[in-house]
Amino acid sequence: MAAIMLFIIALLYMLNRRTNWEQLLIYTDNLSSHAKEAYSPPPFLQKKSTPEFLRLGHALSRVSYQLHNDYRRIKTLTHRLESLVDQSPLPMLMIMRHGQISFFNKRFEQIFMSLPQSDSNYELTDFIAGKDESTQRLLQTLSNLRVTRTLTVYGLENEQAYQLHVTPWFGEHGQVHGFTVLLNNVNEFASQIGQLQQQNQRLQRQIDEFNTIKSTMGHDLRLPLEAMIDTLEPIDPETLTAAQNDILISLIKSSQSMLTTLNDVLDIEEIAVRKTRLSIEPVDIYRLGQQVSQSFIERIRQQGLELLYFFTPDSPRCIDTDHQRLQQILYDLLDNAVKFTTSGYVSLTIETVSNAELLATKNRSLVNLNKDLTLIKSSQINKDNPNHASHDWIRFSIKDSGMGIDIAKQHQLLVQLNKSNNQNTHRNVNYIQKNTTGQGLGLNNVNSFARLLGGFIEIKSTMTEGSSLNLYLPCRRPNYQPIYHHSQHLTHIHLIAVIKQPLRAKHLRDFCAYLSMSATIYTSIDKLDLQQLNEKLAQDEQRLAPILLLDYEYYETLSIASANQAIGNDDRQKH
């Protein structure tokens, strides 16, 4: 009986457990269809269900609620993605790391695919091409891209311009997994830019033609007018009859009126200096050279060049000439030198030259038609200066370390400049102005001013070694005011200088010779030079005080030598 009772109890327990499992399975099957916004407990009767089944039912309800929320969120995000990507008016696509297209939206398919494509093994370059070779190479090697880029591309079929934005996306370890691409049609803007560029080119051609006309008018009209005025104004009215005097006045007034009108029509500031007639008066050429050099300092620094200015000690400080026109000539020659010098130096040297030195010059590239007559006039001018009879000319030498001018172009310039004012032989004026001064008066007009002042221009140049444009002016009524003063203390000084720039070293050597100062000047130095220098210092230490002047590059080398010399001096003092 006990066994039967136990069996019956066990059977009832098993039947109850089966009922609970059936209820749990039915509840589980209905979770997806009966899922609600809020959590709901399982509909088990607590009296007929064990605690284990109740807990399991509650857990299943919570899982169902969370899954339902995740499903609704995924559905919302999917709807947004479809709205933004598939319905976007801009073509979008995704590209795998190795360049294959993994996804594209409907807009991309409409624009770049004429027929629906079932095969997805396409690359970006199957539909678009870069505007140039570098862009095309970048499109073909996207795997190397690590930053967002914006490129200009063209459709292979429609040939329209697009702005392509490609952005890499990375994995959790920083490796590139692929790229997102967005295309924006900018064909209309590209067409407008092309039209504007063509319009700009047309306008530039018109400006060039207008500049050519201005240049021609400035040369072919202004120079003859100024020459006419310069010829008429010095005529003494007392030597003419009344009728001739009236004609002279009429010619002068008419010429000046025409010149004024032409100035107003051209409205060119660079030739405004021509409105002033020649004004010959004493000019401080030392100060003038300083002022012109100072005006280029900022520009020289910006270009990384070195500016040298040297006024030879035996040069007169003042000569009779036109200050304004001489200043314009020097400014334009320096402007030309700075413009065509990319590294190195530009220098202005003012020095005296005699007739004998000028005639002995091997390269007489002088742009003057009547040199011999000018030389004679210059010699006659200085007859009243017996103390400086050899100073017939003042030379303003503008040198540079630029690209230089080859022999053919030098000859072309000289031939053109030596044509004087012949209006029918003016074909190369534009070339001269564009290849010599640019913003200034032009070499042709500089030469005209030089001739107006009784001087001329000399051209010397060697390819890759620089150029030298020299202005020669007659030394009229020179005034020798000393600029560098002698001192007896200087004779007890021994200047030791290491100057890297050869031209600066040459000027310093001449300067020391003028002041009677003992000097040893090097442009480079080695151990042998240092040894010889130490020996010379040892010989002169009793009567000369050494002063060291050196460029920064040689500071360390000479510091060591000075230290060795100081040790040697200490040893001698001990003995």
Question: pLDDT per residue over 260-272, tens digit each?
Answer: 777 666 654 444 4
pLDDT in tens, 379-434: 444 444 444 445 689 999 999 988 877 776 766 666 665 554 343 333 333 323 33
Are 319 and 398 in contact by the 8 Å Cβ rule? The answer is no
The candidate with the shortest Cα–Cα distance to 348, out of 307, 299, 409, 401, is 307
Q: What is the pLDDT of residue 472?
A: 92
- CB count within 10 Å of CB 475 equals 25
Q: Is the pLDDT at 375 greater than 50, yes or no? A: no
Element (H, E) at 229: helix 222-232
| 568 contacts: CB under 8 Å, gap ≥ 6 | 534, 538
pLDDT in tens, 21-62: 777 777 776 666 555 555 666 666 555 667 777 777 777 777
CA distance 285 to 437: 22
Beta strands in 9-160 (DSSP E): 92-96, 101-104, 128-130, 149-155
Q: How confident is the model at residue 354 (pLDDT cuts 50, 70, 90)?
A: confident
User: What three-state secondary structure class fits 172?
Assistant: coil
Site of tokens 């399982």: 42
Q: What is the pLDDT of residue 311?
A: 92
Strand order across the beta sheet in which 493-498 lies: 518-522, 493-498, 545-550
CATH entry, 279-474, from 3.30.565.10, 3.40.1800.10, 3.10.20.740, 3.10.310.50: 3.30.565.10
66-84 exposure pattern, b = at least 16 Cβ within 10 A, e = fewer: eeeeeeeeeeeeeeeeeee
The candidate with the shortest Cα–Cα distance to 153, out of 207, 224, 93, is 93
pLDDT in tens, 120-160: 678 888 888 888 888 888 888 888 888 898 998 988 888 88
Q: Taking the mean position of all CA atoms in its chain, how far away is CA 46? A: 89
Q: What is the pLDDT of residue 255?
A: 83
Share above pLDDT 70 across residues of the chain, in percent, rounded to a whole number: 75
Q: What is the pLDDT of residue 575?
A: 37
**Torsions phi, psi for 48 (to 5 deg):** -105, 0
CATH entry, 90-185, from 3.40.50.920, 3.30.450.20, 3.40.50.11540, 3.40.50.12780: 3.30.450.20
Q: What is the pLDDT of residue 436?
A: 36
CA distance 251 to 246: 9
State the sign of the Cα–Cα–Cα–Cα dihedral 524, 527, 531, 532. Answer: negative
Q: Which CATH architecture has domain 488-574?
A: 3-Layer(aba) Sandwich (3.40)
Report the chain's terminal Cα–Cα distance, integer Å: 139
pTM of the model: 0.46
The candidate with the shortest Cα–Cα distance to 324, out of 267, 273, 396, is 273
| 488 vs 343, more confident | 343
Share above pLDDT 90 across residues of the chain, in percent, rounded to a whole number: 10
The helix, strand and coil proportions of the chain, stated in percent and rounded to the nearest 5, come to 55, 20, 30
Q: How confident is the model at residue 563 (pLDDT cuts 50, 70, 90)?
A: low
Are 177 and 194 in contact by the 8 Å Cβ rule? The answer is no
Q: 185 exposed, middle or buried (CB, 10 Å; 0-12, 13-18, 19+)?
A: middle
- CB count within 10 Å of CB 96 equals 15
Q: How confident is the model at residue 117 (pLDDT cuts 50, 70, 90)?
A: low
Give, in order, the Cα–Cα distances in Å from 177 to each of 92, 503, 504: 17, 63, 63
Are 573 and 565 in contact by the 8 Å Cβ rule? The answer is no
pLDDT in tens, 175-234: 888 999 999 888 888 888 889 999 999 999 888 888 777 777 666 777 777 777 777 877
**Torsions phi, psi for 171 (to 5 deg):** -85, 180
pLDDT in tens, 318-337: 999 988 889 888 988 998 88
**Torsions phi, psi for 167 (to 5 deg):** -130, 125
Torsion of CA 539, 540, 541, 546, to 10 degrees: -130
pLDDT in tens, 235-253: 877 788 888 888 888 888 8
Q: How confident is the model at residue 346 (pLDDT cuts 50, 70, 90)?
A: very high
Torsion of CA 414, 415, 416, 421, to 10 degrees: 110
Q: What is the pLDDT of residue 397?
A: 93
| 230 contacts: CB under 8 Å, gap ≥ 6 | 277, 278, 452
CA distance 346 to 198: 40
Tell me the two tokens of residue 449: 């001013």
Lowest mean pLDDT among 27-31, 341-345, 397-401, 454-458: 27-31
Give the count of alpha carbons within 13 A of 434, CB side only: 8
The residue extents of the domains of the chain are 2-85, 90-185, 221-267, 279-474, 488-574
Q: Is the pLDDT at 116 greater than 60, yes or no? A: no
pLDDT in tens, 82-104: 777 777 888 888 888 888 888 88
Beta bridge partners of 330: none
Q: Is the pLDDT at 376 greater than 60, yes or no? A: no
